[in-house]
A and B are shown apart, each in its own frame.
Chain A
Amino acid sequence: MTDADVLVRRLLGPGEPEVGCDECFFELDRYVDLRIAGADADAAVPGMRAHLDGCPACAEEHESLLALAAG
């Protein structure tokens, strides 16, 4: 993916239904534990993956929680 692709993607966002930041925080622990358990977290929490694609701050916190809880 080129820099231009990344820029276009960041400008236009995920382009599909997504949760907001508040709901993301509310569901984050469940989503992460489902991922660690190998369950279909994206099906269980619709709109979460799209939000994590579109929101850098929530994505950072998701990455950290996943790394910490899986360790």
Chain B
Amino acid sequence: MSAGPVVSVGRVSVPAGDAETQEWLDALTGTGARRDEAVSRLHGLLLRAARFEVNRRKRVLPHLRGAELDDIAVQSADDALVSILARLSDFRGESRFTTWAYKFAIFEAAVALRRRAWQGREIPIEPERWPLVPSGGPSPEAGTEQRELLAAISDGVREALTPHQRRVLVSVVLDDVPIDVLAERLGTTRGALYKTLHDARARLRADLEERGLAREHEGSKP
């Protein structure tokens, strides 16, 4: 596990005492039948992880049958295997090898499922879809303070954000468009788009402060 000392084996670091991780690395960086067997075993591990993810998220794709869902899992495991074998030297030994490998399969499956769920669906472009407070009257569960806050945030969205920031915020927060799906549609990366979202949120918080509405419930509460 990662808390222990790390030793180097070739270009790869492994946690001292983790025999299973060591065995994986020895086999995958070796040659011949032992490596082939390890690659096959790794694919099985990744397929298990991809199926695990597909099973957790399949409710977002109620129209897909079992075979179609399993195709997504198999393709995700294949893609993860390619990534892992190309990045084996990036493994730092700060986790178990299996945990490191699982994350590639889960990532591939999660992205594939989100994209499939939004395949053929138009992403609404309604940057002026404000205010957040319904004009028909106050929500029964939103108190006066909340309504004022939402109204102020609405003003901030309209006046303080750039059109791109507004579009990203509306799509991700109000329309629940997955950030990687939106990134693909806009021809950018998930990381770049999250930076836009992060900057938009920071601008909104600053705008609230300027309006004298610094928020006591701001911040992450575990």
Which residues from chain A sit less than 8 Å from chain B, CB to CB?
A: 2-5, 7-16, 18, 20-22, 25, 28-30, 32-34, 37, 39, 42, 49-50, 53-57, 60-61, 64-65, 67-69
CB pair B3 A18 closer than 8 Å? no
Residue B211 lies at the interface, judged by CB distance under 8 Å to chain A = no
**CB within 8 Å of A: which of B172-212?**
172-173, 178-180, 190-191, 194-195, 197-198, 201-202, 204-205, 208
CB pair A11 B178 closer than 8 Å? no
Min C-beta distance of A15 to chain B, whole Å: 4
Residue among A2, A32, A56 making CB contact with B95, cutoff 8 Å: A32
Residue B98 lies at the interface, judged by CB distance under 8 Å to chain A = yes
CB pair B205 A30 closer than 8 Å? no
Chain B interface helix/strand/loop/mixed: helix
CB pair B3 A65 closer than 8 Å? no
Which residues from chain B sit less than 8 Å from chain A, CB to CB?
A: 1-3, 49, 52-53, 56-57, 92, 94-96, 98-100, 102-103, 106-107, 110, 114, 132, 139, 141-142, 146-147, 149-150, 153, 157, 169, 172-173, 178-180, 190-191, 194-195, 197-198, 201-202, 204-205, 208, 215, 217-220, 222
Of A5, A29, A54, A56, most buried by chain B (CB within 10 Å of CB) is A29
CB pair A64 B110 closer than 8 Å? yes
CB pair A68 B220 closer than 8 Å? no
CB pair A12 B218 closer than 8 Å? yes
* List of B residues within 8 angstroms of A22 by Cβ: 191
Min C-beta distance of A67 to chain B, whole Å: 8
